[in-house]
Amino acid sequence: MKKRLNIGLVGLGCVGSTVAKILQENQEIIKDRAGVEIKIKKAVVRDVKKHKGYAFEISDDLESVIEDKGIDIVVELMGGVEAPYLLAKKTLAKQKAFVTANKAMLAYHRYELEQIAKNTPIGFEASVCGGIPIIKALKDGLSANHILSFKGILNGTSNYILSQMFKNQASFKDALKDAQHLGYAELNPEFDIKGIDAAHKLLILASLAYGIDAKLEEILIEGIEKIEPDDMEFAKEFGYSIKLLGIAKKHQDCIELRVHPSMIKNECMLSKVDGVMNAISVIGDKVGETLYYGAGAGGEPTASAVISDIIEIARKKSSLMLGFETPQKLPLKPKEEIQCAYYARLLVSDEKGVFSQISAILAQNDISLNNVLQKEIPQSNKAKILFSTHTTNEKSMLNALKELENLQSVLDTPKMIRLEN
């Protein structure tokens, strides 16, 4: 096997430059997990002068990454549809591996590329929901299953807007402005709020699950722009939330695909997915429901997915890989050094001064109280004291509990539960 894999990176925008940064910052684990060193040999950009300080060659000659025999994988992060499609075709024709984050291009040209690729690897994990490994889940994790249906929050911008409308009674207009102000929505937000971006992703996932060659124009796509605070109020009243969903269902004789705002019951995991986060719930005929949640966009999550594809192309083994052969093996943290917040339950005699005894012990052990509930037990001289603390360490807490147990007014061994952020 080769000792080194060379990347030709096309595009050095937000995702492209982050791919370069992570390949540098995490180079040790990436080398271990890939089994070979992974290096960017050349990056292609529109304006060479704008990109300085990189350790690799910068060029404006797109053809050169295809022609360069020293480049093993072409990584396309340029955006657009037709230019990247042409690049993909030429790369695959040379049986060179191709990795892309380009959902719009795949929404239009995935079947043509599949034809050309044959057994040449194409990685496209980053094209759907950024850092969530949903492509690999469908291709690998759920491979024993017929996919009965899936539905997902596939667009972070619209989910942020809907979350703001739901939580803060914001109007659509104000929530959109807020999203634009925070950089979650573009100045022209049409692709996101009208469901086009979500539809691109739905088409790619549906191709994986069902092999259906559906086009954007053939499926039901509605955006979130007509939703009003009244709708949110109705949803709250009857136990729903409103999410922009991409939905796919397999029927006996056809596949149903649609993107539109949906009311979903509060009990459903997807209803909890707020802000810019994405999630996809998949129903397999054998595995039942599985759900995948994470950041659907952003430089680092998307670059994480791009690099996972590069690593997958690089390696071909599947033994245990404990610690991915991490170079730096760390020892186990001793139990008593664990730090967290705590909750405790005490049974006490209901008399004066008990609580001040308790709080004195906590203070001596450097533990500060957070929430407290005191409950008398009727027809007895007993009470329960339930409290939670701010962060402290296990040793202090165990010590305090032992001291509490020794108090005459504490009638039973105190019970404790840790709090987890």
Please give the annotated binding residues, written as ranges.
15, 34, 44, 46, 103, 125, 128, 130, 132, 183, 186, 197, 298
Site for its own copies in 205-244 (CB under 8 A): 207-212, 214, 218-220, 226-228, 230-231, 233-235, 237-238, 240, 242
Tell me the per-residue interface mask from 246 to 275 with its own copies, x by CB under 8 A, - otherwise: -x-xxx-xxxxxx-xxxxxx--xx--xx--
Residues 339 and 393: beta-carbon distance below 8 Å? yes
From 201, 215, 352, 382, active-site residue: 201
Segment near its own copies (CB under 8 A), from 29-37, 55-63, 175-183, 350-358? 29-37
Closer of 179 and 245 to its own copies (Cβ) = 245
User: Shortest gap between Cβ of 273 and its own copies (angstroms)?
Assistant: 8
Tell me the per-residue interface mask from 339 to 378 with its own copies, x by CB under 8 A, - otherwise: ----x-x-------------------------x-x-x---
User: Shortest gap between Cβ of 65 and its own copies (angstroms)?
Assistant: 20
- Residue 261 neighbours by CB under 8 Å, 6+ apart: 162, 222, 223, 224, 227, 242, 243, 244, 245
Instruction: Report the residue from 332, 356, 378, 406 that binds its own copies according to the rule CB under 8 A.
Output: 332
How distant, in Å, are the alpha carbons of 156, 360, 377 from that of 357?
51, 5, 20
Residue with tokens 């305090």: 400
Say whether residue 182 binds its own copies (CB under 8 A): no
How many of the chain's residues bind its own copies (CB under 8 A)?
A: 133
Cα 13 to its chain centre, rounded Å, is 21
Nearest by Cα to 7 from 63, 48, 65, 64: 65
Q: Which two tokens stand for residue 27?
A: 């180079």
Question: Is 201 a known active-site residue?
Answer: yes
- The SS3 call for residue 25 is helix
H or E element at residue 357: helix 354-364
| Total residue length of the chain | 421
User: Shortest gap between Cβ of 49 and its own copies (angstroms)?
Assistant: 29
Say whether residue 384 binds its own copies (CB under 8 A): yes
Say whether residue 104 binds its own copies (CB under 8 A): no
User: Shortest gap between Cβ of 404 and its own copies (angstroms)?
Assistant: 16
Annotated binding site for NADP(+): 15, 46, 103, 183, 186, 298
Burial class (CB in 10 A: 0-12, 13-18, 19+), 251: exposed
Cα 378 to its chain centre, rounded Å, is 49
Say whether residue 167 binds its own copies (CB under 8 A): no
Instruction: Report the residue from 49, 70, 181, 318 that binds its own copies according to the rule CB under 8 A.
Output: 318
- The SS3 call for residue 379 is coil
- The SS3 call for residue 223 is coil
Closer of 86 and 419 to its own copies (Cβ) = 419
Q: Which two tokens stand for residue 76?
A: 């396309």
Nearest by Cα to 366 from 334, 398, 333, 405: 398
| Bridge partners for 311 per DSSP | none
Say whether residue 145 binds its own copies (CB under 8 A): yes
- Residue 48 neighbours by CB under 8 Å, 6+ apart: 58, 59, 60
Say whether residue 297 binds its own copies (CB under 8 A): no
Say whether residue 1 binds its own copies (CB under 8 A): no
CA dist 62 and 89 (Å) reads: 13
Active-site residue set: 201
